[in-house]
Amino acid sequence: MSRIIAIANQKGGVGKTTTSVNLSAALVSMNKRVLLIDLDPQGNATMGCGIDKHEVEKGIFDVLVDGMSVNDAQQKAAENTCAVLAANSDLTAAEVELMDMDEREQRLNNALQPVRQDFDFILIDCPPSLNILTLNAFVAADSVLVPVQCEYYALEGLSALLETVEGVRESVNPDIKIEGLLRTMYDGRNKLGVEVSAQLIEHFGDQVFRTVVPRNVRLAEAPSHGLSIMEYDNTSRGALAYLALAGEIVRKLARAVHTADEQPAAAEPISEAASQSERKETTGDVTTAESANPSSSGVAESPSSTGTPEQPLNDTESVNG
Ligand SMILES: Nc1ncnc2c1ncn2[C@@H]1O[C@H](COP(=O)(O)OP(=O)(O)OP(=O)(O)O)[C@@H](O)[C@H]1O
Ligand SMILES: [Mg+2]
């Protein structure tokens, strides 16, 4: 079964691209077949995957505007990395060209249908706005993963985002779910960050991933080398966090499929069914991340369901790598 996840938040700089690139790499390291779609004209995910955005000859623009097949447009920076539909500033023109097209919000969805079974996961790195590109992602996606930086205005933009997802659910994509809210760039020494994290849990409960991504300088360095964190430093706290997140997502999905198999008539929506069982298994059990990821220490996955991440996130290593 394949899963298409849009990684979105119209707020800029919250960790969408970092999450897209490194979650893709973490899933690849778990032997999953992954396609990463760079849907942002900034081309940061493209660069982060080691593909020079200034030399993109084919990519998501060709798929959306010219109808090129995903198979023809995808590329890989290296063996053992994910497939990429690359982007650069040309994609800004796609926004304009799409406006005159029929079924303009369906273009990505239509393009992905013939290939979706070739991948276990298709991740879409969205631009920092709720524009036609993001809408294409929401129409194609099974779920939306929302990176949230735990700071003062974090909650403010969330309602607009969730309303947009709700609008898409009510119109073109009734099955779209919230995959989860992911706390990023977390620094446990920052009192405000801790408070916002607790507020997120209070408001969104089980929809918040247990995994917390710490502020980690290795995550910020990796893109300048065109490498994911798995290639750049797979023992860093950033790498462990994204491995834990990949494990959390894979386990949720496995449980949802299991539940659906056992009780087809009473199958719950994936996000609800999975997150409920996720919470039940957790409290105090940091080893859950290890079972899916032998290489992960599980430290990045908060064992607390109260919203206050554990002490290991607070040490100076999270800053120095
Ligand atoms: N956990 C982290 N620790 C340290 N630095 C991080 C972390 N996550 C992201 N960054 C850095 O923060 C900056 C913004 O991250 P990123 O580009 O992933 O955000 P974004 O939401 O994709 O931004 P945009 O909205 O512009 O597309 C980048 O310089 C990135 O390297
Ligand atoms: Mg980005």
> Which one-letter amino acid corresponds to residue 306?
T
Indicate the helix (H) or strand (E) that contains 33. none
- Look at residue 217 and tell me whether its pLDDT is greater than 70: yes
Calculate how far, in angstroms, residue 10's C-alpha sits from the geometric centre of ligand 2.
10
The finding on whether 14 has its CB within 6 A of some atom of ligand 1 is yes
Q: Provide the phi-psi class of 142: left if phi over 0, else alpha when psi is between -120 and 50, else beta.
A: alpha
pTM given for the model: 0.85
Q: What percent of the chain has pLDDT over 90?
A: 73
3-class secondary structure, 292: helix
Q: What is the CATH number of the domain that holds 101?
A: 3.40.50.300
Q: What is the mean pLDDT of the chain?
A: 84
3-class secondary structure, 218: helix
Exposure string over 21-30, b if 16+ CB within 10 A, otherwise e: bbbbbbbbbb
> What value, to the nearest 5°, has the Cα angle with vertex 50 and ends 243 and 236?
30
Calculate how far, in angstroms, residue 263's C-alpha sits from the geometric centre of ligand 1.
41
Q: Could you tell me if 10 and 165 are in contact, meaning their C-beta atoms sit under 8 angstroms apart?
A: no
Q: Give 13-66 pLDDT, tens digit per residue.
A: 999 999 999 999 999 999 999 999 999 999 999 999 999 999 999 999 999 999
Q: What are phi and psi of 121, to 5 degrees?
A: -135, 135
Instruction: Specify the residue with its C-alpha closest to ligand 1, atom 20.
Output: 13
**In DSSP terms, which residues pair with 122 in a beta bridge?**
4, 35
Which pLDDT does position 263 carry in this prediction?
64
Indicate the helix (H) or strand (E) that contains 105. none
Closest ligand 1 atom to residue 241 Cα is 1
What is d(CA 90, CA 177) in angstroms, rounded to the nearest whole number? Answer: 30
Q: How many domains, the chain?
A: 1
Q: Give 98-144 pLDDT, tens digit per residue.
A: 999 999 999 999 999 999 999 999 999 999 999 999 999 999 999 99
The finding on whether 219 has its CB within 6 A of some atom of ligand 1 is yes
What is d(CA 162, CA 165) in angstroms, rounded to the nearest whole number? Answer: 5
Q: Residue 215's domain spans which residues?
A: 3-320
Classify strands 143-149 and 3-7 as parallel, antiparallel or unpaired: parallel
Choice from 18, 53, 123, 182 to test ligand 1 binding pocket (greatest atom count within 8 A of CB): 18
The finding on whether 10 has its CB within 6 A of some atom of ligand 1 is no
Look up residue 278 and give its two tokens: 């996720």
